[in-house]
Amino acid sequence: METGIFEKKIQKQRCTIQLTLDHFNKRVRVEDYLGHFQECIAEALKAAKDMAAEKIIFKARKENLQELISNGFLYEGSIDKFFLGSDCFFLVKYMSNERRNSDEWQKEDKILSDILKQPIKAGLDEPPSAYQVRKAELSDAGQLAQLYGKVFEVYPTPMNDQAYVRKCMEKGTVFYIYLHEGKLVSAASAEIDAFYHNAEITDCATLPEHRQYGLMKHLIAHIEEHLISHEIYCIYSIARSLSFGMNAALHQHGYAYRGRLANNCYIFDKLEDMNLWVKNYT
């Protein structure tokens, strides 16, 4: 079976649909669509069947929710104002019981409950002066790939591949990094959708020996400043539901919890549930 991630645009007589065919994570994601909606659903189901996908994720508009539910899709989360001010809803369909069932759901509920009880902090404590933060450049692609290779045993995208990181940067993904004694120790990125004016904060990683200084919170703040200066006002992030630290960082930054995507992708050493967090500056 293929292990790559491919974007595909399907144009039929009555509809157009944009897909991400994610062989590695055994899923199909509907990124956008236009035209006769029942045909859009049919094309998404066909694409999933052709690649033996275990999960379909439909990024749907409000007016199409009922039709998706009538076709067996389930609601898992939402992103406020994703489509140029209109909300996006994550409707999903599972092709196997194994993919639908999550063994860690109750534990993740407890983690989320504990996080949501924490106060949202005003201001951030500065890390030691030995840490320097800046926007990443193409020449940093090698060190970025090394960082992701060290932090993640398994990752949904091949971020441990220098060529792939360079390709992401060339396509417009923005990375911010922390350096310590000249070595890259922490990074995060923003995948920007310039058409819909939204961005996903992702690829968050810090080496274990540098995690006590809250570097990730500062990286998120720097990325937000960059996005706002480029008229990107809808910002969201998808974090491992089992990660107390990452979810807490987003909560303390004022992000709102908007749902959990079950068995969404392979990360660390297994298929994991992911929490959806959203922040708007409109």
User: In a structure prediction context, what are the per-residue pLDDT tens digits for the chain, which is 282 residues long?
Assistant: 456 889 999 999 999 999 999 999 999 999 999 999 999 999 999 999 999 999 999 999 999 999 999 999 999 999 999 999 999 999 999 999 999 999 999 999 999 999 999 988 777 789 999 999 999 999 999 999 999 999 998 888 899 999 999 999 999 999 999 999 999 999 999 999 999 999 999 999 999 999 999 999 999 999 999 999 999 999 999 999 999 999 999 999 999 999 999 999 998 778 999 999 999 987
Does one domain contain both 96 and 110? no
CATH of residue 129: 3.40.630.30
pLDDT of residue 268: 74
The answer for residues whose C-beta is within 8 angstroms of residue 77's C-beta and 6 or more apart is 89, 90, 258, 259, 260, 261, 276
Does one domain contain both 116 and 206? yes
pLDDT of residue 120: 83
Indicate the number of domains in the chain: 2
Is residue 10 packed enough to be buried (19+ CB in 10 Å), middle (13-18) or exposed (0-12)? middle
Last-in-domain residue among 36, 69, 100: 100
Last-in-domain residue among 100, 131, 147: 100
Does one domain contain both 149 and 162? yes
Q: Residue 233 belongs to what domain range? A: 105-280
What backbone torsions phi and psi does residue 120 show, to the nearest 5 degrees? -80, 120
Compute the Cα dihedral for 100, 101, 104, 106 and give only its sign: positive
Does one domain contain both 144 and 220? yes
Does one domain contain both 126 and 74? no
3-state secondary structure of 158: coil
Last-in-domain residue among 77, 100, 123: 100
Does one domain contain both 26 and 114? no
- Per the confidence metrics, is the pTM higher than 0.85? yes
DSSP secondary structure string for all residues of 189-240: EEEEETTTTEEEEEEEEE-GGGGGG-HHHHHHHHHHHHHHHTT--EEEEEEE
Does one domain contain both 137 and 223? yes
Does one domain contain both 142 and 239? yes
3-state secondary structure of 84: coil
